[in-house]
Structure 1
Amino acid sequence: MEERDLQSVLSWRNHPEVRRYMFNSGEISWSEHVAWFAAASTNPRKHLLVFESGGALLGFINFSESAVGGIAEWGFHATPDAPKGTGKHMLGLALSYGFTHLGLHKVSAQVLQGNPRSLALHRKLGFMEEGCLREQHSDGSGYQSVYCFGLLQREWQTSKVAVEDYLI
């Protein structure tokens, strides 16, 4: 991700269909977004990526490494109007990047109970469910459980879907 991508990524993140699945579902201001990018883009443990296909930007991926050991949590979102299959394609390539280029040992994720597409996508990509934090997240109107997922590099290497299967 580069500075020129800021407006696109912010507009996707603030779209109601994307926001509703976020832990922080409030709108992000331009100044907050710029400050976040300034801090994250200079942090060597943060890896901000945009996904492009056919000349169009279609999504955002963020790997945040913990202090040691090649453990990273990821977050992502596709554009609200992304073609069907974009998520699998984008995330399959992102996992390849994380495990091969970044040398990660594990990618972890937390997914809200109310996001069935993300829950299914993590399972399809080979993530193992590592736990459920019951009614862990409050959105102001109720509580949702948070599902914890993890994928080890060796699991990805032995069970990954062929790269061709990531194509839209």
Structure 2
Amino acid sequence: MIDVAEQLARAVSLRETGSVDEARDLLLKLSSAAPDDSRVAYQTAWVHDVLGLERDAIPFYVRALDGDGLSAVERRGAMLGLGSTYRTLGRYAEAVSVLSAGVAEFPDDRALAVFLAMALYNAGNAKEAVAGLLTVLADTSADPEVRRYERAIRLYAEDLDRVWD
């Protein structure tokens, strides 16, 4: 009987130390042996992304997110990974959908918000994309000049087309 947790830890270690092809081989075997294990699916998706095999990553991301067992950090990573992968492949509506769900579930995660802004831009919604980026900027910048104009930046994020009379 295969020890899934032990083999998963080995695969992650292989990926982290640069033995990505070996990690992929092990994760594909684990995915076959434990098809309902969300953590295995997530790590399998991740290793495919690292190898530039985005199309192959998608079903594993979907399986990971459809199942139970991911920690909040893993779930967030899977949502960002799937959304980013969809965007990379030109599947913008799907990217916006996944990343919007990620932002709703993890509202304090600025990386999700930035990736959502990129997907919104690609989907033809530049106004919403810029507004999202302005909000992230206002929320996170330590630059004194940005801080000085934070109120104005937030107002413009709410309505970029507003004209002041």
The normalised TM-score by structure 2 is 0.30
Q: Which has the higher strand share?
A: 1
Structure with the larger RCO, 1 or 2 (CA within 8 Å, 6+ apart):
1
The normalised TM-score by structure 1 is 0.29
Q: Which has the higher helix share?
A: 2
